[in-house]
Amino acid sequence: MAKIISAAEAAAMIQPGSRIAIGGFLAVGAPETIIDAIVELGTKDLHMIVIASDWETRGVGKLVVNHLIKSAQVSHLGTNKAIQAQMNAGEISIELIPQGTLMERVRAYGAGLGGVLTPTGLGTVVEEGKQIILLEGKSYILEPAIASDFAIIRAQKADKLGNLTYSKTARNSNPIMAMAGKITIAEVDEIVEIGELDPELVVSPGVFVNYIVITKEQ
């Protein structure tokens, strides 16, 4: 059974240097309440794994503008001038990863796999320093799985076992990020009793979820 905790308690679990996989895309489906609690606590030297760096005032962008991120694996930086400036100044280390490859590497870790083979990035800087594998006459980059200490995600509803449902496009990267955390914390709009969720609507099984936080929007 998942434990219900406050956002402040969730943030306190995350230590300097932690690797955090964070759900959302351009702040849609971002766990804003937990992000705000991390900002308030001021935990630094974090490594974040995200699709996009969002905006300076929304989503994971708030972690960036408060200089809490020392490195990131990310696909999209175009909407956040703060992360661009910090990257260009050498204040933050960035690994840019094609979006599909990023999510497959995260999923691979959650599934207990060592990595994935992909042709995406062949002949570009993406392949530099990586092993190329020839399979049935085709070349692939061996992309290692991406590990995380914590996954913080946003869902619509949770039952007390931690089973999760999502709302429309806010689902985006959250189910895959939920798989990848050694500890997964889900921010939700509502917590219901066991048996109240339609099993056909459950996307993330409770086996992946350790803690639940109610969003401050409620």
Q: What is the pLDDT of residues 179-197, one digit of tens each?
A: 999 999 999 999 999 999 9
Q: What angle do CA 124, 133, 121 make, to 5 degrees?
A: 20
Q: Confirm if 47 and 69 have CB atoms less than 8 A apart.
A: yes
What is the reported pTM? 0.95
Residue 49 CA to residue 24 CA, distance in Å, equals 11
CA-to-CA dists, residue 152 to 20, 43, 187, angstroms? 7, 15, 7
Query: Confidence class of residue 1 from pLDDT cuts 50, 70 and 90?
Result: confident
**Domain 15-96+147-214 adopts which CATH fold?**
Glutaconate Coenzyme A-transferase (3.40.1080)
Reference 101, options 126, 124, 136, 125; nearest CA is 126
Reference 53, options 102, 9, 15, 6; nearest CA is 102
* pLDDT over 90, % of the chain: 98
Which pLDDT belongs to residue 135? 96
Dihedral angle, C-alpha 15, 18, 23, 26, nearest 10 °: 100
Parse the chain into domains and list their residue ranges: 15-96+147-214
Reference 28, options 79, 72, 68; nearest CA is 79
Other beta carbons within 10 angstroms of residue 88's beta carbon come to 10
Give 74's strand partners: 96
**Residue position matching structure tokens 């800087």:** 125
**For range 34-42, the mean pLDDT:** 98
